[in-house]
Structure 1
Amino acid sequence: MSELRLNPTTGEWVIVATHRVDRPFLPKDICPFCPGSPNIPDTYDVMIYPNDFPSLMTPAPPIEIEPPTFSKVAPIEGFCDVVLYSPKHDATLGTLPLDDVIKVIQLWQSRYHELARYAHIKYVLIFENRGKEVGVTIHHPHGQIYAFPFIPPIPAKELHHSQTYRNAHGSCLFCDILAEELQLHTRIVMEDDHFVTFVPFFAKYPYEVHIYPRRHIQHITELTHNEVTSLAHTPYPYYHFHIEFYSPYITRDKLKYLAGCEQGAGVVINSIPPETSAAKLRSIDG
């Protein structure tokens, strides 16, 4: 079973994908993404790998249940890809040579462009889960690309508030955030000619970091070669492409948990001011 079910109390869709419970937990000495593993070539540089247990599929499987009168059920048609960054099992995106990181970003761009051609795809999410702290069981360097048949709640809210801001002020919300962060400079972690890295004023996590391009662009395919190199090194005109990092750590040995207040009310409590976090990150970089 793989389908969408509507939560009528919030208007949010939930993906029910029962086959994902069958995902195996492999022994540490077995890696499905290393060269020569089943479905993986003996040699590769960077590559797209179809998720073996996708929660979004094209074509969508048939709906297996009649919904109650208060809800809806819809087919979940989309794509789930795995992006293998390197054949080296112990590598990370941050330790790859510059040329290899550029290849990863170019692969993101290429796949985004391919997925955008499908009429039923409304949003493409490029992301990486890393570390046992967030439940990662395969430690080979990889990320994922999900293509949704709807706009998920968080980007939908960003789009709504970006449009509202543009209607009220006649400018891009993200561009104005960036301009003021650059003016104050208290939360800037690092910057170059193309990108600015900062801890946002409204950060939910102590070490949440955002990367904004200086130039207003809508999506990753609009990055120029120089911008791709810079990033590797370090239909909504009111929307501004950006990257967000959410570290689960408060300190070196203490995790940030989303507990009662966060899960029940949707209100996140951040125990470290963003200005303090940015200063600490700057000192590490320096």
Structure 2
Amino acid sequence: MRKTVARLADGRQLIYYDDTGGQSRARPVDSRQLPPLNVGSELRFDPLVDEWVAIAAHRQDRTHLPDAADCPLCPSREGALTEIPASDYDVVVFDNRFPSLAADVGELMSQGEDLVPRQPGIGHCEVVCFTSDHDRSFAQLSPARARTVMDAWADRTIELGLQPGIEQVVPFENRGVEIGVTLEHPHGQIYAIPFAAPRTRRMLESARSYRRRTWRNLFGDILATERKAGTRIVAENEHWTAFVPAAARWPVEVHVYPHRQVPDLPALSDAERDAFCHLYLDLLRRLDRLYDAPLPYVAAWQQAMVNIDRDLSYLRLELFSIRRAEDKLKYLAAMESAMGVFLNDVRPEDAAQRLRDVGD
């Protein structure tokens, strides 16, 4: 992988990640006339659930489902300058123009009330473009390109984890307008946040309690249990296993675990990275064959916190879809949204069997 760092017209960082063995390309300067960034994010603490909420009102004006001809993630061409100045690229990572969190968010005018403290929304939000081809998807990438994406994730995990105040780095992909995607070009994002995400914090608390009781790693034992049972396994190879969790919340939900406990993406070996790419591409293609149509999904990496509980953590990818039938979506209704109690219409064992059946 070849890495080239550049700057956009408004000062945001852009990084080209080129596939190994690819030809060197010209990297033109961003010649657009862009207004200064205006980011005013803040974090407000919710004492009812002990969680931080990001308030980012400036994102209301972000680009929303433009025509393909106006896609800001496609390469630049004459008469259509985009976020990527080059006429072609392999993988690109750049600072989001409409970030939920940012390194420079200006001065917070009010510090809030005693019960609801506020603080500047300091963090980082980056866009990851998987390919210059607007009409492709991650499932259609080659293993070599998927490996470039994975290496970019790992590189950004290291870089962002070194930034002041960052506690967690989360690479993820939202795919499909049903999920809420506002740009259809194949891309993901990376959030670097100044606190532990609530789901991560809760899982680490469970893992800590489990270790006190058993002196074992909770995530490792979950993987061992699934591999022994076999009924919910979708695919596996020498280094990774993909399975539907026994208590799946979503009609389609798959977790992908490495067989070796590692804290984060940078800790993976070359062999483990290559093996993940082959298994993950196979998994995504199975998902698209479920209903003979592109499946909307969220796929997010659960990585170790930057500074704490790294010995407890176990890197894994968690993927889910809201599609519960060919013509039906799962909406989070009262019990899920108001009470946090998930109701799944699909047995995990049945979901796993269907995904096994649609394999090559």
- Settle same-fold status: TM greater than 0.5: yes
Question: Who is 2:329 aligned against?
Answer: 255
Shift, 1:28, TM fit: 4.1
Query: Is 2:259 the partner of 1:185?
Result: no
Query: For the residues of structure 1 that align with 2:325 and 2:63, how far apart are their CA atoms?
Result: 32
Question: Who is 2:117 aligned against?
Answer: 72
Shift, 1:29, TM fit: 2.8
Determine which of 294, 303, 311 is the counterpart of 1:237.
311
Letter in 1 for 2:317: I
Q: Percent identity?
A: 38
Query: For the residues of structure 2 that align with 1:134 and 1:206, how far apart are their CA atoms?
Result: 14
Residue ranges of structure 2 left out of the alignment (5+ in a row): 1-39, 280-307
3-state SS of 2:102 partner: coil
Shift, 1:206, TM fit: 1.6
Query: Is 2:76 the partner of 1:38?
Result: no
Question: Who is 2:100 aligned against?
Answer: 55
Letter in 2 for 1:34: C
Query: For the residues of structure 2 that align with 1:270 and 1:280, how far apart are their CA atoms?
Result: 16
3-state SS of 1:210 partner: strand
8 Å contact kept, 1:217–1:241: yes
3-state SS of 2:140 partner: coil
Question: Who is 2:185 aligned against?
Answer: 140
Shift, 1:38, TM fit: 2.5
Letter in 1 for 2:216: S
Query: For the residues of structure 1 that align with 2:132 and 2:67, how far apart are their CA atoms?
Result: 19
8 Å contact kept, 2:63–2:182: no
Residue ranges of structure 1 left out of the alignment (5+ in a row): none
Question: Who is 1:24 aligned against?
Answer: 63
Query: For the residues of structure 1 that align with 2:152 and 2:112, how far apart are their CA atoms?
Result: 39
Shift, 1:218, TM fit: 0.8
Letter in 1 for 2:227: L
Query: For the residues of structure 1 that align with 2:62 and 2:109, how far apart are their CA atoms?
Result: 21
Determine which of 335, 340, 343 is the counterpart of 1:266.
340
Query: Is 2:160 the partner of 1:120?
Result: no
8 Å contact kept, 1:130–1:136: yes
* RMSD over aligned Cα atoms: 1.2
Query: Is 2:172 the partner of 1:172?
Result: no
Count of residue correspondences: 286
Query: For the residues of structure 2 that align with 1:39 and 1:28, how far apart are their CA atoms?
Result: 14
Question: Who is 2:139 aligned against?
Answer: 94
Shift, 1:16, TM fit: 0.4
Letter in 2 for 1:261: M
More displaced stretch, 24-33 vs 237-246: 24-33
Determine which of 50, 53, 57 is the counterpart of 1:11.
50
Shift, 1:43, TM fit: 2.0
3-state SS of 2:321 partner: coil
Question: Who is 1:208 aligned against?
Answer: 253
Runs of 4+ in 1 over 6 A off after TM superposition: none
Query: For the residues of structure 2 that align with 1:118 and 1:68, how far apart are their CA atoms?
Result: 28
8 Å contact kept, 2:68–2:134: no
Query: For the residues of structure 2 that align with 1:60 and 1:18, how far apart are their CA atoms?
Result: 12
